[in-house]
Amino acid sequence: MTPLVRLDAVSKTFILHLRGEARLEVVRDVSLAAHPGECVVLGGPSGAGKSSLLKMIFGNYRCDAGRILVRDGDALVDVAAAEPRRILALRRTTLGYVSQFLRVIPRVGALDIVTAAGREGGLAPDAARARAQELLERLNVPARLWSLPPATFSGGEQQRVNIARGFVAERPVLLLDEPTASLDAKNRAVVVELIAAKKAAGTAIIGIFHDEDVREAVADTVVDVTHFAAKAAA
Amino acid sequence: MTDQPLLSVRGLTKHYGPRLGCADIGFDLDEGEVLAVVGESGSGKSTLLSCLSTELAPTAGTVRYRMRDGVTRDVFSLSEAERRVLMRTDWGFIRQDAAQGLRMGVSAGGNVGERQMAVGARHYGQIRATALDWLNKVEIEVDRVDDAPKTFSGGMRQRLQIARNLVTQPRLVLMDEPTSGLDVSVQARLLDLIRGLVSELGLAVIIVTHDLAVARLLSHRVLVMRGGRAVETGLTDQVLDDPREAYTQLLVSSVLAA
């Protein structure tokens, strides 16, 4: 089976021009692959570059060296080299992403945010709304909050809106950056179920999970991100 | 669909005598794409916009546009009359100072109706109905249709300018700091309106702004300018979250978080 995502010797270093050209190596020589229905968990200590790696796959951070190949239908797109409009198209059709913190357009209500994400992912208006309601309900976001912008929600509520937004559409690849970090046990269990359902539907997942129990429940493969840097240095 | 971009800019350069306005600017824009041009005052972003709108003649470079008939032409090779028609119909230009983009002594309805007449509308009832429809879209009370914009607030003037420009269903809209100088609450409402219309109508937009939050909210791509030159360009969230050039890093790190 060919992977949906393949990283080939990916490296990144931040150069901080305003801090005396300080160089911060983020990741070095990372190679990994995620197949349909597989959940690849990125491991390694805090600061190892796990979140940065997810952002690079999503095209949010640049990649200095290596290739980030994502399958889009019959095409193979190298995110590291793709034009902005190709990356935007890839995000609509293929790449879902749940960031660590919810970042949304201000003044838009929670249900509308999730519905819009479904529309962007190709769902019809009614289907997007229905699916958005179903997910918010499943994630225990109280219905009285649905019409309100999430800016004033608690951290856990915001994160659940964020998860609903990432899961609402059927995209072949899902990137998850600590989706369960600020959730209680009940909601963590819901997220584990949602991830299992995506895997069963053939979605390739690359994620970061600090919770031991969540990781145990969802991981098929664990990739230690620091391992590559050490090997490259040796 | 054609492979030609809607707008294709190459090597656009403008000198004011010995002084540089902008130098060697190039980019392509497709339908539905929003490009933000950011940089501080004096960076050349307004000069760039004036050249694109053909109000300034560039010293060098080309601005090629795919016309409604599918033929791509350099806008500076058009006759004066052809260019005027293009600017009044298929292009819009929303200016920072609404007084420059509106006829301040003419009624709100007249301001919107005038652009319709430029594309050949002659039926008074229809012109007025369309004008009322557009005032409604930009959230101006329809009972203000006969009032002149000089009696309007800053936010209302900007909304009227948007209606006047969009009534002819342009495919490309240039915006020069459309929300600067307005109170933040007025600015927020205007940004929501612009965002909604741009995605609903599938407009191609070039928006000049010094406000990175506006660029993040509205644009797909960003072009960072300094001293008349493009220093960095790319996907908006990539440039703002992972700025590569020293100047862009400075801009991004200088934003105050509220």
Tell me what the mean pLDDT of segment B52-63 comes to.
95
Write the pLDDT tens digit of every residue in B205-224. 999 999 999 999 999 999 99
Q: What is the pTM of this model?
A: 0.93
A16: chain B residues, CB-CB within 8 Å: 249
Mutate to test the interface with A, among B186, B190, B242, B252 (most CBs of A within 10 A): B242
Burial of B56 (0-12, 13-18, 19+ CB in 10 A): middle
Tell me what the mean pLDDT of segment B11-35 comes to.
95
Write the pLDDT tens digit of every residue in A56-102. 999 999 999 999 999 999 999 999 999 999 999 999 999 999 998 88
Nearest CA in chain A to B251: A18
Cβ-contact B233, B52 below 8 angstroms: no
Asked if B188 lies within 8 A of A55 by C-beta distance, the reply is: no
Write the pLDDT tens digit of every residue in A125-175. 999 999 999 999 999 999 999 999 999 999 999 999 999 999 999 999 999
Cβ-contact A169, A200 below 8 angstroms: no
Cβ-contact A59, A91 below 8 angstroms: yes
Please, what is the average pLDDT of chain B?
Answer: 93
B30: chain A residues, CB-CB within 8 Å: 85
Asked if B242 lies within 8 A of A60 by C-beta distance, the reply is: yes
pLDDT of residue B258: 56
Q: How confident is the model at residue B10 (pLDDT cuts 50, 70, 90)?
A: very high
Nearest CA in chain B to A12: B242
Tell me what the mean pLDDT of segment B126-144 comes to.
94
Write the DSSP string, B151-197. GS-HHHHHHHHHHHHHTT--SEEEEESTTTTS-HHHHHHHHHHHHHH
One-letter amino acid of A97? Y
Q: Is A105 an 8 Å CB contact of chain B?
A: yes
Asked if B235 lies within 8 A of A107 by C-beta distance, the reply is: no
Cβ-contact A1, A66 below 8 angstroms: no
Instruction: For residues A185 and A191, give the distance between their C-alpha atoms in angstroms, rounded to a whole number.
Output: 10
Tell me what the mean pLDDT of segment A47-62 comes to.
95
